[in-house]
Homo-oligomer: A and B are copies of this chain.
Amino acid sequence: MLALSQDLELREFCTALNAGRTAEFMEGLDDADVWRVLQFAEPERRAEIFGYFDEDRQLAMLADEPAAETARLIEEIPADDRVDLIQGLPTQAVDEILPLLPTSERRDIERLRSYPEGTAGALMTTEVAKLAEKLTVSEAFDELAAIARDLETIYYLYIVDDNNLLRGIVSTRQLVSSLKHKSRTLGELMETDVVAALAGEDQESVAEKVERFNLLAIPVIDSGRQMLGIITHDDVIDVVREELTEDAQRIAAVEPFDDDFLRIGLFTLSYKRGLWLTILFFAALLTAFALRHYESELAVNAWLVWFIPLIISSGGNSGSQSATLVITAMTGGEVELSDLPKVLSRELRVAFMLGGFLAAFGFLVALFVAPSAVAAMVIPITLLGVIMCGCLCGVTLPILFKRLGLDPALMSNPFVAGIVDILGIVIYINVARLILG
């Protein structure tokens, strides 16, 4: 259509479908073409469609647009999203754009930018339905009718007094079901026990509240109960996704990073990984010293060497499983600190079953290579011991970490594995000593 520059069709294309799908259809086009198509949409609509592209593409599209163009677009983007966008733009571009915006908008953007990443303040939007207590139901509807189209959500109305202090909340649902009593005031309808977030509050605890209370949006207030804005459900989903992804990364001993995997700088990435790899490297060095210490035993029974990787990886794997299960269970709120005894007793039994099972296999294999059936017993006994060790470390360390007030996910699988490696070798050689004399 672009090629044939069928303006009408393009205008149609920008309006007929819902914005998200319009964006989806254009995924294939290159940035310049997308931008050209967007010019056929009304400013408001343009911003809406634009919002469905991921940040990379948004920034790419704006890269060589004149500041005026960008400013016009930014005016139409919801308050919370446009701040994220601006964070991504080169500073001198921002300095050109901001002056072009209406003062009120500029102030708003600057205030939102001032909140540090990961706080409620940085997530919130300031476009919210704030109404006065004394309004009647019908007055409220008229108010709403006037402001609705500029707001991200009107599903909760926030009741504030003249000093902008949050007094209560009325859901549109309540309002609608009170349509028959037009003269009742919002003050009578409102729920005064409002679940709110503080501007400085950590985004994970905000998400936790929204989930627990099944909210569509949560109001953000300052320490003085001043109503600052709201955080909407879509931002909450993003937080949950972010939180759990960071968990998974910590579990694998990577320092989490904000940026996309394909966008983060290679040196930063190497640092975030190297940090832990180095720690784990020195942990693993201990195994080298242990083995050196047991040199004589290994020299006499060379066949013991063959099973070293098998034994330490069995311990490490069972440990990783346990650690991951406990860490995810704690993130999901299924396991509390107080559950440690229960967790341990369950794990003990599971570990025994798993260890016994693999020990049996180990014995069969050992029979072929060990000098005698008695000597072969070294392998199953070690495996059972190492696997039980791995499982118990795996469940205990994260819970201990949590009790110490640290992030349990920091007690990553490789870390557990590292500890189990050393234990494994010590157990191995000592079992061997006992049995082979």
Q: Name A's B-contacting residues (CB within 8 A).
A: 16-18, 20-21, 24, 52, 141-142, 144-145, 148-149, 151, 153-155, 172-174, 176-180, 191, 193-195, 210-214, 216, 233-234, 236-237, 240-241, 244-245, 247-249, 251-254, 260-262, 266-267, 269-270, 273-274, 276-278, 280-282, 284-285, 287-289, 291-292, 295, 298-299, 302-303, 305-310, 312-314, 316-318, 320-321, 323-329, 331-332, 334-335, 339, 342-343, 346, 349-350, 353-354, 357-358, 361-362, 365, 369, 413-414, 417-418, 421, 425
Do A262 and B176 touch across chains, with their CB atoms under 8 A apart?
A: no
Which B residues are in CB contact (< 8 Å) with A266? 346, 349-350, 353
Q: Complex formed: what's the CA distance from A186 to B236 in Å? A: 31
Given the known interface contacts A298-B305, A353-B274, A369-B292, the answer about A249 and B17 at a Cβ–Cβ threshold of 8 Å is no
Query: In the complex, what distance in Å separates the CA atom of A280 from the CA atom of B318?
Result: 10
A16 partner residues in chain B, CB cutoff 8 A? 193
Q: In the complex, which residues of chain B have a beta carbon less than 8 angstroms from the beta carbon of A326?
A: 261
Mostly helix, strand, loop or mixed at chain A's interface? helix
Interchain residue pairs with CB less than 8 A apart (6) = A20-B214, A273-B318, A273-B354, A274-B357, A281-B310, A288-B310
Residue in A278, A308, A313, A324 whose Cβ sees the most chain B Cβ within 10 Å: A313
A388 CA to B231 CA, complexed, in Å = 43
Partner of A358, one of B145, B178, B278: B278
- A53 CB to closest chain B CB (Å) equals 11
User: Pick the contact of A277 from B254, B260, B287, B317 — CB < 8 Å?
Assistant: B317
- Residue in B281, B334, B425 whose CB lies within 8 Å of A261: B334
- B288 engages A145 (CB within 8 Å): no
Q: Which of A151, A172, A174, A323 has the most CB of B within 10 A?
A: A172
